Each structure stands twice: as structure tokens, then as C-alpha cells.
């Protein structure tokens, strides 16, 4: 995991906790590039936590979403890839 060494941007960070499981949150699936609190991250993993006990009985699941902040080069490449998808693969020579 070479991306964990070096700059602070390469470090994984817990982004938030949620009670919605990953299959109900496709916008936060692993590998997706997302914006969170003004920064751009790639979601690296979902970690299941202990269920949260409810006062009236029962419990609800809880997950923590982790991500790694993208470098400027990674953001640039994501933009190029998105433009190519939009253009149907015809925009390759524009980026180079």
C-alpha cells in the first residue's frame, strides 16, 4: 500500500458514520470519487461497527465510511476519464 506513505493526502480517513448499509448507498460505493466537507475523496472501505442499542429495545446497524483524499493528478485523471465517458471515448486526444 504505497499510497499510505508520504503526503498527508495519501492517508485514509474516516469520513462519517451511517445507519444506512452500503447496498442502500450506491453514491458511496467503494472506489467511487466523492466530495465530502469541501474535499475530494475516493471511498476505500466500509467498516461495520457494533450495532447501536435503542432505548426502547432492539438495535440498528452502524457503518463507518473510509476514504483517501485525491491528489491533484488523480483528480485531473478522473476529470479526463469522465469527459471520455461523456464523449463516448472520442476525447482521448484532447487530454494529451
pLDDT, one tens digit per residue, over 49-94 is 999 999 999 999 999 999 999 999 999 999 999 899 999 865 455 5
Domain extent, residue 27, equals 2-70
**Would you state the pLDDT for residue 17?**
95
Residue labelled with grid coordinates 450495532: 51
pLDDT at 4: 42
Residue 46 lies in a domain: yes
Residue 5 has pLDDT above 70, yes or no: no
Question: Nearest Cα to 15, choosing from 53, 64, 52?
Answer: 64
Residue 38 is assigned to a structural domain of this protein: yes
Does position 6 have pLDDT exceeding 60, yes or no?
A: no
Instruction: Answer whether residue 16 is part of any domain.
Output: yes
The whole-angstrom separation of Cα 80 and Cα 36 is 21
User: How many domains does the chain contain in total?
Assistant: 1
Residue 35 lies in a domain: yes
Does 76 map to a domain? Answer: no
Task: With a cut of 70, say whether residue 96 has pLDDT above it.
Answer: no
**pLDDT (average), residues 37-42:** 93
Amino acid at each position: 500500500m504505497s499510497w499510505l506513505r508520504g503526503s498527508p493526502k495519501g492517508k485514509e480517513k474516516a469520513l462519517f458514520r451511517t445507519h444506512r448499509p452500503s447496498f442502500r448507498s450506491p453514491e458511496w460505493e467503494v472506489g467511487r470519487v466523492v466530495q465530502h466537507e469541501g474535499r475530494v475523496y475516493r471511498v476505500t472501505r466500509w467498516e461495520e461497527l457494533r450495532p447501536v442499542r435503542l432505548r426502547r429495545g432492539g438495535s440498528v446497524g452502524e457503518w463507518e465510511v473510509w476514504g483517501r483524499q485525491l491528489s491533484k493528478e488523480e483528480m485531473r485523471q478522473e476529470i479526463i476519464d469522465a469527459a471520455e465517458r461523456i464523449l463516448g471515448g472520442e476525447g482521448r486526444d484532447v487530454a494529451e
